[in-house]
Structure 1
Amino acid sequence: MTPWGGVGGHAGGMARFLRLLAHFTAVQALCCTFALSVVGLLALSRALPLENWGLARYDFLLLGCLLVQGALVWTRFETPREALALLLFHALGFGLEAHRVALGAWAYPEEAVGKVLGVPLYAGFMYASVGSYVAQAWQRCELRLSGEPPLTWQVGLVGATYAHFLLSAGLEVRLGLTAALLLAHRRTRVGFTVGGERLAMSLPLSLTLIAAFVYLAENVATGLGAWVYPHQAGGWRPVHPSKWLAWALMLTPAVLIVARMRAGEGRAAKAGRYPIPHPPARRSGRSETP
């Protein structure tokens, strides 16, 4: 397995690197289909005269997210099992949103029919879009983890991470959790396929890079009025950089859930209980291995 950092280390390496980078970028954009759809709906909700139609913006976003989710399953871009897994991300995200909104960490100031506990129901889809990205990347890039800590450690750390968000623990706790996760996953690497070549990267580095893009997306989303942080009440300002670390921590449960789901599918397929339901259009040019 070739390390990602070594793709340009020989004659003609730069051309190979650029080829792999172009392929990687195209696949990553495809994996972000649901997330990009949510951002597109946010932009559309600002452009359309929804008030003239008697439709609240948050309700429009909820309907749009439901239609996108249905279309992705209908076109077999996502499997029904993946859609069910995304419901878990939606539920976890909505629970966190309701708790944090109650504490005043951020707000959804507009009125809507589909608003519960101060949180519009579309908000959970923003967390589901992160889960959708991980699930799509797992399949399209043939992600595999190696050097993982024991499952009990993973579950314990994920539980502690989610609890720390719910309990609004301070920066010291967040930094302590980050150190614990780095220590537990110091040997964990994620293998992935790009352009038919097998590469690898440190899992903590991978989560940090993904979190950077989620942080940029959060700035775009708040700029489009998806929600409002207290410091943005008087007008949009960049999201605090500490949210980058928060998203890196939040990505850990997503990776664990998808990894367990894929592992369960692989074991069931080997036992002959059912085939892994991935359509040919989603293959990357290589044979799929569970």
Structure 2
Amino acid sequence: MTDGTREFTRLERGIDRLAHRILRGAPRRGARAVLVECAVFLLKQAWACVFGALLLAVIVAARLWYPEDAVLARNDALTIAAIVIQIGMLAFRLESGRELWVIVLFHITGTAMELFKTDVGSWSYDGEGVLRIGAVPLFSGFMYAAVGSYMVRVYRLHDLRFARYPKVWLTAIVAALIYLNFFGHHFVFDFRWILLAAVVVLWLPTVMHFRVWRTTLRVPILPVFVGVALFIWFAENIGTWAGAWFYPNQTDGWHLVSPQKIVAWFLLMIISIVLVTFVYPPKPPEAGERGAG
């Protein structure tokens, strides 16, 4: 865990103290030291993904075991489960009240896009349930909130720092244009490739510093964006297989989601990053920090 515990929730501070006791005697060099760093990295990533992992597990469980003749529609059951997960995240101090605001913002912006995209036929949900707005079941907003939860949690778990981060006001303009293009490309020219080029120009010089255990790694930020977008695309394939929603080419049976969606998720990542900077403004690396990469 990181020494920057002031951003941790109460439960996470307890886990951090326990981790320090367990890892106090861990070797500082050699293969075992590398294995410790890898294990801590994977555990932190799993902890950051807990909201999305629980929600995805519920979606898969509903596909496999939810009875077709249940009085409560499956979509409504998913919505109730998502609400319970969110309440549990707060009750067990897995999220702070500060983070809840950005997660709510993810929820609102995601639901607004869902309403539009389902109306134009980009994707759809089955017609069951009463906990919905139009054709959009309310659990859909929690899928965007899961992305927001991961972003804010990974920021503090890894004590993220950024060298040569672009001006926040410039990133906000690009993020707003990306969001508008998700709507506007149905009526006018699709600017996604121009926006993608703008993202590359803005963030290409940026290097992300993230603490694992004893080591702080330095990596260019754009490949990190790509990696997270790819991970979300994998989760999207699980979600569509489980019938949470489906694309037009999946109405007659499940097919792999088009890899072109990775570009859409990459651009959505930019919106996510900018929203998170409203809660956690980008900080430069600390002078003299030990690093690798």
How many Å apart are 1:171 and its aligned residue? 8.7
The range that moved more, 117-126 or 16-25, is 16-25
Whether 1:160 aligns to 2:177 is yes
Kindly provide the CA deviation profile for residues 161-196 of structure 1, in whole angstroms up to 9, marking residues without a partner as x: 101111136896211111110001111122111112
Does the aligned pair in 2 maintain the 1:115–1:121 contact within 8 Å?
A: yes
Q: How many residues matched?
A: 254
What's the secondary structure of 2:218's corresponding residue?
A: strand
1:84 equivalent among 65, 78, 101: 101
| Structure 1 segment 196-211 matched on structure 2, within 5 A | 196-211=214-229
1:235 equivalent among 253, 259, 271: 253
Whether 1:37 aligns to 2:51 is no
Structure 1 residue identity aligned to 2:274: L
| Structure 1 segment 19-58 matched on structure 2, within 5 A | 19-58=36-75
d(CA) in 1 for partners of 2:119 and 2:200?
31
What's the secondary structure of 1:227's corresponding residue?
A: coil
What's the secondary structure of 2:249's corresponding residue?
A: helix
Alpha-carbon RMSD across the aligned residues, in angstroms, is 1.9
Whether 1:244 aligns to 2:262 is yes
d(CA) in 1 for partners of 2:152 and 2:143?
15
What's the secondary structure of 1:191's corresponding residue?
A: strand
How many Å apart are 1:42 and its aligned residue? 0.4
Match of 1:96 in 2: 113
Match of 1:123 in 2: 140
d(CA) in 2 for partners of 1:62 and 1:109?
14
Whether 1:175 aligns to 2:193 is yes
The range that moved more, 194-203 or 226-235, is 194-203
The TM-score normalised by the length of structure 2 is 0.82
Match of 1:61 in 2: 78
How many Å apart are 1:21 and its aligned residue? 2.1
How many Å apart are 1:198 and its aligned residue? 1.0
2:242 equivalent among 211, 224, 243: 224
d(CA) in 2 for partners of 1:208 and 1:13?
30
What's the secondary structure of 1:190's corresponding residue?
A: strand
What's the secondary structure of 2:191's corresponding residue?
A: helix
How many Å apart are 1:151 and its aligned residue? 2.1
Does the aligned pair in 2 maintain the 1:50–1:56 contact within 8 Å?
A: no
How many Å apart are 1:20 and its aligned residue? 2.1
How many Å apart are 1:38 and its aligned residue? 0.8
